[in-house]
Amino acid sequence: MPTIIASPDDESLAELCGKLAARAERLDESGDWPTEQLRLFADFGVYQWFAGPEWGGQAWDQESILRGYLALSGACLTTSFILTQRDGACRRIESSTNESLKERLLPGLTSGELFATVGISHLTTSRRHVAKPVLQARRIDGGFLLDGFSPWVTGADHADYVVLGATLMEGDEATSLQATGEQLLAAVPSTLPGVSTPPPAKLVGLSASHTGQFKLENVFVGEEWLIAGPVENVMLAGKGAGTGGLGTSTLALGLAKAAIDFISSEASKRPELEPPRDGLLREWEELEASLFAAIRNEPKCTNDELRGGANSLVLRATQASLAAAKGAGFVVGHPAGRWCREALFFLVWSCPQPVVSAHLCELAGILD
């Protein structure tokens, strides 16, 4: 049995990263759900990082967790990304005041027996321009009826529970339902009647994350599954999955570091690669310092600036690794090509609008 990882300095973290990296290429090519990698997370105690001791967890502080993510995401972005969605769901559940829900779900989530994920983007960054909320809730005796879909749910077809956001509606169903202005968050069991998961989307990268829609056709969700709300801006209540958090920048930096390390290994044989490697590494170290300053509440910049910087670096560092790898890097199976595709993910994943706007200006060559 592997040694449980008790700190980001443990050698067992490097051992786990080696196992993930060895499987990353095959995972990308197959697009299969990473059952084995997620089992490794359980065996190495990774799920324990996020939960309190009362649930069997180690309750790592935020800095240690991000150091863990930094290492994991350089080894395999897809499984690290799945971990962030699972972690976001667990934190939402743990920060709830629904004690019986916590007792029911958190021990299994911490040991790795259960898998939970999140479907919240329709409350934050997805489908915000459409007039009718895509996932509606109506209050009925003992709970809520949920109708509609959550557009992006990672691991939807493998989830035991999905932490879902829904918009509360009122009025006569036959005429017109109106949004009350309140929203709710619930841990919805995937086994409830009326729940379905269409086959996941084939993606430019990270297809093995099995991200797809989670559909609900008038699904009765009892009050016992409620995490928060109904309340205005339910995402501001509690902790956990949100938009553009430090975790997203951490994963971008983890992937950028893998690409920079590759350039370093090439530079040992090709000195002309040293200046670009040095420039990228300097920028990486500055962003890493900003990330940890932000965690310690001594920010050097805003979270949006950090995310914008991490996004910009990961796109350039991965493309630099491809240029360094030359034609060999363009052949399927070489990590540099995969890293380039994976870096594009950061342009769309949980990306706050000001960061998207800044990227568009950068790409258009328009300075702020």
Ligand X SMILES: Cc1cc2nc3c(=O)[nH]c(=O)nc-3n(C[C@H](O)[C@H](O)[C@H](O)COP(=O)(O)OP(=O)(O)OC[C@H]3O[C@@H](n4cnc5c(N)ncnc54)[C@H](O)[C@@H]3O)c2cc1C
Q: How far is the CB of 159 from ligand X (least distance, A)?
A: 10
Q: How many CB atoms lie within 10 A of CB 146?
A: 25
The mark string for 170-209 relative to ligand X (x by CB under 6 A, - otherwise) is ---------------------------------x--x--x
Q: What is the C-alpha to C-alpha distance for residues 190 and 177, in angstroms, rounded to an integer?
A: 26
Q: What is the C-alpha to C-alpha distance for residues 347 and 353, in angstroms, rounded to an integer?
A: 11
Q: Does 92 help bind ligand X (rule: CB under 6 A)?
A: no
Q: Does 64 help bind ligand X (rule: CB under 6 A)?
A: no
Residue 115 vs 284, nearer CB to ligand X:
115
Q: Does 129 help bind ligand X (rule: CB under 6 A)?
A: yes
State CA 277 to chain mean position distance: 28
Q: How far is the CB of 82 from ligand X (least distance, A)?
A: 9
The mark string for 300-329 relative to ligand X (x by CB under 6 A, - otherwise) is ------------------------------
Q: Does 118 help bind ligand X (rule: CB under 6 A)?
A: yes
Q: Which stretch binds ligand X (CB under 6 A): 1-9, 184-192, 259-267, 344-352?
A: 344-352
Phi, psi of 194 (to 5 degrees): 100, -5
Q: Does 348 help bind ligand X (rule: CB under 6 A)?
A: yes
Residue 129 vs 269, nearer CB to ligand X:
129
Q: What is the C-alpha to C-alpha distance for residues 244 and 240, in angstroms, rounded to an integer?
A: 12
Q: Does 46 help bind ligand X (rule: CB under 6 A)?
A: no
Task: Using CB under 6 A, pick the residue from 79, 125, 250, 311 that binds ligand X.
Answer: 125
Q: How many CB atoms lie within 10 A of CB 364?
A: 8
Nearest to 89 by CA among 66, 118, 63, 68: 118
Q: Does 126 help bind ligand X (rule: CB under 6 A)?
A: yes
Q: Yes or no: say if 251 and 205 are a contact pair by the CB < 8 Å rule.
A: no
* Assigned token pair, 101: 């829900």
Q: How many CB atoms lie within 10 A of CB 145?
A: 19
User: Where in the chain does DSSP place strands (E)?
Assistant: 116-119, 135-140, 143-154, 161-171, 177-189, 195-196, 211-222, 226-231
Q: How far is the CB of 188 from ligand X (least distance, A)?
A: 13
Q: How far is the CB of 293 from ligand X (least distance, A)?
A: 25
Q: Does 73 help bind ligand X (rule: CB under 6 A)?
A: no
Residue numbers 210-229 binding ligand X by CB under 6 A: 211
Residue 85 vs 110, nearer CB to ligand X:
85
Q: H helices of the chain, where? A: 11-30, 35-43, 62-75, 77-94, 99-111, 246-267, 274-295, 303-325, 335-344, 353-364
The mark string for 141-170 relative to ligand X (x by CB under 6 A, - otherwise) is ----------xxxx----------------
Torsion of CA 159, 163, 167, 172, to 10 degrees: 60
Q: Does 299 help bind ligand X (rule: CB under 6 A)?
A: no
Q: How far is CA 46 from CA 65, 105, 115, in A?
A: 10, 17, 13
Q: How far is the CB of 111 from ligand X (least distance, A)?
A: 22
Q: Which stretch binds ligand X (CB under 6 A): 45-53, 123-131, 267-275, 353-361?
A: 123-131
Q: Yes or no: say if 337 and 204 are a contact pair by the CB < 8 Å rule.
A: no
Q: What is the C-alpha to C-alpha distance for residues 179 and 170, in angstroms, rounded to an integer?
A: 6
Q: How far is the CB of 195 from ligand X (least distance, A)?
A: 16
Q: Does 127 help bind ligand X (rule: CB under 6 A)?
A: yes
Applying CB under 6 A, the residues found at the interface with ligand X are: 85, 117-121, 125-129, 151-154, 203, 206, 209, 211, 348-350
